Amino acid sequence: MPNTSDVGTTIVRGACPHDCPDTCATLVSVDGSGRAIRIQGDPNHPVTSGFLCAKVNRYLERTYHPDRLTTPLRRVGPKGSGQFEACSWDEALTDIGARLDAIRNGPHGAEAILPYSYAGTMGQLQGSSMDRRFFHALGASKLNRTICAEAGRVGYMMTVGSSVGADAEGVPDSDLIVLWGTNTLTSNPHFWPFVLDARKKGTRVICIDPIRTRTAEQCDEWVAIKPGADAALALGIMHELFAHDWIDHDYVARYTTGVDALRERAAEWSLERTADVTGIPVERITALAAAYGRAKAAFIRLNYGLQRHAGGGMAVRTIACLPALTGHWRRAGGGVSLSVSATFAMNKDGLQRPDLGPTTRTINMSLLGDALTTPDAGIGGAPVQALIVYNSNPAAVAPDLTAVRRGLAREDLFTVVLEHFQTDTADWADYVLPATTQLEHWDVHTAYGHLYASLNRPAIAPVGESLPNTEIFRRLAAVMRLDDPSLRDDDLTLIRTALDSTHARMTGVTFEALLERGWVRLNVPRPFLPFAEGGFPTPSGMCEFVSPRLAALGLDPVPTYIAPYESPESDPMLAARFPLQLISSPAHQFLNSSFVNVPTLRRAAKEPECVMHPDDAGLRGVAGESIVEIANDRGAFQARVRISDGIRPGVIWAPSIWWTKLTDDHRNPNDTTSQRLTDLGEAPVFYDNLVEVTPVG
Ligand SMILES: Nc1nc2c(c(=O)[nH]1)N[C@H]1C(S)=C(S)[C@@H](COP(=O)(O)OP(=O)(O)OC[C@H]3O[C@@H](n4cnc5c(=O)[nH]c(N)nc54)[C@H](O)[C@@H]3O)O[C@H]1N2
Ligand SMILES: Nc1nc2c(c(=O)[nH]1)N[C@H]1C(S)=C(S)[C@@H](COP(=O)(O)OP(=O)(O)OC[C@H]3O[C@@H](n4cnc5c(=O)[nH]c(N)nc54)[C@H](O)[C@@H]3O)O[C@H]1N2
Ligand SMILES: [Mo]
């Protein structure tokens, strides 16, 4: 039963809402007074296995944080000053409705209103249901949600077909594990127990990363690749696979297209050329290729780190060819996994109702700075006059913060932010609306690192006057007299709609089953071997080594290497001024910019830091533990230096994403990142970013 009672304490089943592959099943203990007193991972969930991460262990501290927003707030000081006064929900919603109505009836129409949201919660309800219905019915601009995963998603789709891949629960059967562009112990920690299981029988674990992360430290081998060079490495490995005939010819003949073109392309990647481009010695490449070629069921765990570069889409597409060449998809533990989200088949259209409104323009969230400041920059026509932000903190996480801040500072921009806390973004708002956390609302979840759906029940009453996103958009729809009946659906109706699917894999994933058990495995075998006998969800039904869809886009249809925009090799002129490649991947204690304001976690992260190789520090006269300025033409930020040989020379690492207002210099690495986009998916290139470091003071 979901709720068990024990001396006045109730245990409520939930799901972690955060943007992470693990989507944990949680158990929240609530005492007789209705206060949550404990959160733990469900010991029976095969992936959660009874533990939570460093951040979500602190979820109660976050929920009951004295800084929680408890009432709607109206701006009283100048824009960006962070001066607000409390007001009632009625006052706030009436005024917001009137402001949006004026814009809707103005010369540019409702397209001048832009929703901006990402995955602050991954819940189907609080993330993407009533909000979408509201903006569709209003006729607002659409948002292309590219900020995280689009390069990789599209690249993977070009080879494999959709976000379906090897099952983490097969990992114990692997005979080689390659962690490629992922800091597993930080960003996907519930994958690790499966790795440990495989290791018990001697399976090698190799980590490919420019940084010797805490994950790389735990692996048998750290392959210190140059940033953005992963497609070259994969092509070099293929060169060896073909040369030694480590190819599953039967699999290739039955289930792939274009092997001849791929062989020709791989032939161009001699070991010497591969070593030159990747910075990995020839003997390491040979050993890696041999290990992969001789394995029967190698598991490649890709994640999103390697796709935040100019050629990120092509890199993922290229790597995704490997298990089809070797036939590893046939066996448990073999294959490649980036996201498995498309294994789920929720009724998204029913939930989001794109049919409620007209076709409108789409604005790329990764170009927020441009969209707010240069209305003609590819967004066609209407300026953005109103911005409604929820589930995201763009004033900390979006690229090119200088441009973003300039946009948010516009006196003529009407900004509403739905939040738990007064974030960097909320400081720019005209209205801030208090939202509930996962402990306070209903939701239903898919996952992208495993195959279990889960239900989140509210465990406690809303803190203060906070409301679920769904309720805020229902009320806004009512205030604005949007009258489609679907805009009045309550949360339980929305959950039933989300689960209203006839897809075979969703059989058994019902509201009743979720109420009863909290989480349910998709209707697939365990482990799931999606492509053991082909059946790729591409147009040809094959794993596409040659992609007609890429050709149609005017791109190379065959896997290839695309150099970074900013690297010493690809832009020597720029590198003469800014020689170091900055990677600003997640800090262990934070979840993007969430949890930065939670005292125990911020104390653990200490202060903005960066890691530099001794050679790079020496060249610049930078002493360990000193403060440095990290800068390029776009901007600058400061951090305390740690000097370590656990990073490639020429690369620096600044664990992220700090709230700018909680740093001494009120800036963060996104002051230096650019609004350039990846080859596929129009995604940001956060880690394709040259900087120079100078001592401060
Ligand atoms: N603790 C914690 N967990 C998180 C998050 C968080 O902020 N904190 N964020 C969540 C979200 S939204 C996401 S998208 C994921 C992100 O987590 P991951 O998908 O793992 O991606 P990143 O952490 O961005 O980068 C992973 C590793 O890739 C390396 N890397 C960078 N460039 C390259 C390259 O060119 N080639 C190779 N081979 N490696 C490279 C980085 O050094 C980093 O160690 O994690 C989720 N989980
Ligand atoms: N330099 C650099 N920049 C990056 C990255 C990087 O690695 N380096 N990573 C990028 C990636 S992968 C991603 S995914 C993005 C993530 O960027 P965001 O999606 O902006 O993620 P967060 O920073 O966690 O902000 C989410 C906000 O949503 C709020 N929130 C959570 N739940 C709810 C809710 O139910 N209702 C409402 N109204 N609000 C809620 C939280 O309080 C939080 O402030 O950042 C990107 N930016
Ligand atoms: Mo992300």
Exposed (0-12), middle (13-18) or buried (19+): which is 540, by Cβ within 10 Å? Answer: middle
Which atom number of ligand 2 is nearest to the Cα of residue 123? 35
Which atom number of ligand 1 is nearest to the Cα of residue 213? 44
% of the chain exceeding 90 in pLDDT: 97
Element (H, E) at 274: helix 271-278
Instruction: Give me ligand 1 centre to Cα 591, in Å.
Output: 11
How many C-beta atoms surround the C-beta of residue 102 within 10 A? 12
What is the spatial distance between Cα 636 and Cα 668, in angstroms, rounded to a whole number? Answer: 8
Dihedral sign from CA coordinates of 372, 374, 379, 382: positive
Instruction: Give me ligand 1 centre to Cα 94, in Å.
Output: 42
Q: Is residue 584 part of a domain?
A: yes
Name the phi and psi angles at 417, rounded to 5. Answer: -125, 125
Q: Is residue 32 part of a domain?
A: no
- Secondary structure (DSSP) of 202-269: T-EEEEE-SB--HHHHHSSEEE-PPTT-HHHHHHHHHHHHHHTT---HHHHHHHEE-HHHHHHHHHT-
Instruction: Give me ligand 2 centre to Cα 660, in Å.
Output: 14
Nearest-CA residue for atom 33 of ligand 1 = 306
Which atom number of ligand 1 is nearest to the Cα of residue 149? 14
What's 373-432 look like in SS3? HCCCCCCCCCCCCEEEEECCCHHHHCCCHHHHHHHHCCCCCEEEEEECCCCCCHHHCCEE
Where helices occur in 147-213 by DSSP H, the ranges are 150-159, 184-187, 192-200
Q: What is the dihedral angle through the alpha carbons of 494, 497, 503, 508, rounded to the nearest 10 degrees? A: 70
Does residue 567 line the site of ligand 1, with CB under 6 A? no
Does residue 19 line the site of ligand 1, with CB under 6 A? yes
Element (H, E) at 694: strand 690-695
Q: Is residue 57 part of a domain?
A: no
Q: Is residue 529 part of a domain?
A: no
How many C-beta atoms surround the C-beta of residue 434 within 10 A? 23
Which atom number of ligand 1 is nearest to the Cα of residue 211? 42
Tokens of 584: 């600003």
Instruction: Give me ligand 2 centre to Cα 426, in Å.
Output: 13
Among 81, 545, 59, 144, which residue's Cα sits nearest to residue 360?
Answer: 144
Q: Is residue 511 part of a domain?
A: yes
Instruction: Give me ligand 1 centre to Cα 102, in Å.
Output: 42
Distances (CA, A) of 166 to 195, 468, 530, 639: 14, 35, 7, 39
Among 21, 315, 342, which residue's Cα sits nearest to residue 159?
Answer: 315
Name the phi and psi angles at 413, rounded to 5. Answer: -95, 125
Q: Is residue 362 part of a domain?
A: yes
Instruction: Give me ligand 2 centre to Cα 657, in Å.
Output: 9
Instruction: Give me ligand 1 centre to Cα 404, in Å.
Output: 23
Does residue 309 line the site of ligand 1, with CB under 6 A? yes
Residues 321, 176 share a domain: yes
Instruction: Give me ligand 2 centre to Cα 593, in Å.
Output: 6
Distances (CA, A) of 670 to 402, 427, 564, 674: 9, 17, 18, 8
Q: 464-467: which pairs have CB atoms within 8 A and are 24 or more residues apart?
A: 464/68, 464/69, 464/70, 464/71, 464/434, 465/70, 465/71, 465/72, 465/89, 465/434, 466/68, 466/69, 466/70, 466/420, 466/434, 466/435, 466/436, 466/437, 466/440, 467/89, 467/433, 467/434, 467/435, 467/436
Does residue 448 line the site of ligand 1, with CB under 6 A? no
Nearest-CA residue for atom 31 of ligand 2 = 120
What is the spatial distance between Cα 626 and Cα 454, in angstroms, rounded to a whole number? Answer: 46
Would you say residue 4 has pLDDT above 80?
no
316 close to 155: Cβ distance less than 8 angstroms: yes
Which atom number of ligand 1 is nearest to the Cα of residue 586? 7
Residues 176, 248 share a domain: yes
Does residue 211 line the site of ligand 1, with CB under 6 A? yes
- Secondary structure (DSSP) of 504-555: GGGTT--HHHHHHHSEEE-SS-SS--TTTT---SSTTSSEESS-HHHHHTTS
Tally of domains within the chain: 3
Q: Is residue 67 part of a domain?
A: no
Would you say residue 608 has pLDDT above 70?
yes
Instruction: Give me ligand 1 centre to Cα 300, in Å.
Output: 15
Residues 330, 240 share a domain: yes
Residues 378, 298 share a domain: no
Does residue 122 line the site of ligand 1, with CB under 6 A? no
What is the spatial distance between Cα 691 and Cα 682, in angstroms, rounded to a whole number? Answer: 23
Nearest-CA residue for atom 4 of ligand 2 = 397
Nearest-CA residue for atom 37 of ligand 1 = 181
Residues 185, 330 share a domain: yes
How many C-beta atoms surround the C-beta of residue 214 within 10 A? 13
Q: Is residue 170 part of a domain?
A: yes
Tokens of 260: 């001849």
What is the spatial distance between Cα 636 and Cα 410, in angstroms, rounded to a whole number? Answer: 22
User: What residues flank ligand 2, with Cβ below 6 Å?
Assistant: 19, 118-121, 126, 147-148, 304, 390-393, 397, 418-421, 423, 435, 469, 584-586, 591-594, 656-657, 669-670, 673, 686
Nearest-CA residue for atom 40 of ligand 2 = 391
Tokens of 653: 């690492």
DSSP assignment, residue 61? Answer: H
- What is the predicted pLDDT for the residue at 1? 39
- What is the predicted pLDDT for the residue at 379? 55
Does residue 583 line the site of ligand 1, with CB under 6 A? yes
Does residue 591 line the site of ligand 1, with CB under 6 A? yes
What is the spatial distance between Cα 65 and Cα 317, in angstroms, rounded to a whole number? Answer: 43
How many C-beta atoms surround the C-beta of residue 4 within 10 A? 11
Question: Mutate which of 209, 307, 610, 651 to test ligand 1's pocket (most atoms within 8 Å of Cβ)?
Answer: 209
Residues 277, 252 share a domain: yes
What is the spatial distance between Cα 492 and Cα 333, in angstroms, rounded to a whole number? Answer: 38
Instruction: Give me ligand 3 centre to Cα 117, in Å.
Output: 13
Domain of 616: which CATH number? 2.40.40.20
User: At which residue do the structure tokens 């956390």 appear?
Assistant: 437
Instruction: Give me ligand 2 centre to Cα 119, in Å.
Output: 6
Question: Mutate which of 16, 18, 20 to test ligand 1's pocket (most atoms within 8 Å of Cβ)?
Answer: 20
Tokens of 340: 């498995």
What is the spatial distance between Cα 27 and Cα 328, in angstroms, rounded to a whole number? Answer: 37
Number of alpha carbons in the 13 Å side-chain half-sphere of residue 339 = 26
Strand duo 443-445 + 431-434: pairing: unpaired
Which atom number of ligand 2 is nearest to the Cα of residue 304? 12
At 269, the amino acid letter reads W
What is the spatial distance between Cα 252 and Cα 147, in angstroms, rounded to a whole number? Answer: 34
* 176: β partners: 204, 298
Instruction: Give me ligand 3 centre to Cα 319, in Å.
Output: 20
Label residue 2 by pLDDT band (50, 70, 90).
very low
Among 413, 338, 402, 421, which residue's Cα sits nearest to residue 159?
Answer: 338
Residue count of the chain: 697
**Which distant-in-sequence residues (6+ apart) come within 8 Å of 389 by Cβ?**
116, 117, 415, 416, 417, 418, 419, 425, 429
Does residue 216 line the site of ligand 1, with CB under 6 A? no
Residues 590, 544 share a domain: no
Instruction: Give me ligand 1 centre to Cα 20, in Å.
Output: 10
Identify the domain containing residue 298 by its residue range: 166-338+539-552
Distances (CA, A) of 230 to 147, 242, 549, 582: 20, 18, 22, 17
Residues 184, 286 share a domain: yes
Nearest-CA residue for atom 13 of ligand 1 = 20
DSSP assignment, residue 327? Answer: T
Instruction: Give me ligand 1 centre to Cα 653, in Å.
Output: 12
Rg (CA), the chain: 25
Domain of 272: which CATH number? 3.40.228.10
Could you tell me how far CA 240 lies from the centroid of its own chain? 33
Would you say residue 590 has pLDDT above 50?
yes
Instruction: For residue range 211-257, list pLDDT tens digits in order.
Output: 999 999 999 999 999 999 999 999 999 999 999 999 999 999 999 99
- What is the predicted pLDDT for the residue at 375? 64
What is the mean pLDDT of the segment spanning 154-182? 98
Residues 489, 377 share a domain: yes
Does residue 125 line the site of ligand 1, with CB under 6 A? no
Which atom number of ligand 2 is nearest to the Cα of residue 673? 1
Instruction: For residue range 334-383, list pLDDT tens digits in order.
Output: 999 999 999 999 999 999 999 999 999 999 999 999 999 986 644 567 89
Question: Mutate which of 18, 153, 182, 187 to test ligand 1's pocket (most atoms within 8 Å of Cβ)?
Answer: 187
Which atom number of ligand 2 is nearest to the Cα of residue 392? 20
Among 103, 130, 131, which residue's Cα sits nearest to residue 116?
Answer: 131
What is the mean pLDDT of the segment spanning 320-345? 98
Residues 277, 183 share a domain: yes
Residues 170, 296 share a domain: yes
Number of alpha carbons in the 13 Å side-chain half-sphere of residue 558 = 12
Domain of 427: which CATH number? 3.40.50.740
Instruction: Give me ligand 1 centre to Cα 697, in Å.
Output: 32
Which atom number of ligand 2 is nearest to the Cα of residue 399? 3
Residues 352, 326 share a domain: no
What is the mean pLDDT of the segment spanning 466-483? 98
Instruction: Give me ligand 2 centre to Cα 646, in Å.
Output: 28
What angle (nearest 5°) sits at the alpha carbon of residue 402, between those of residues 304 and 586? Answer: 25
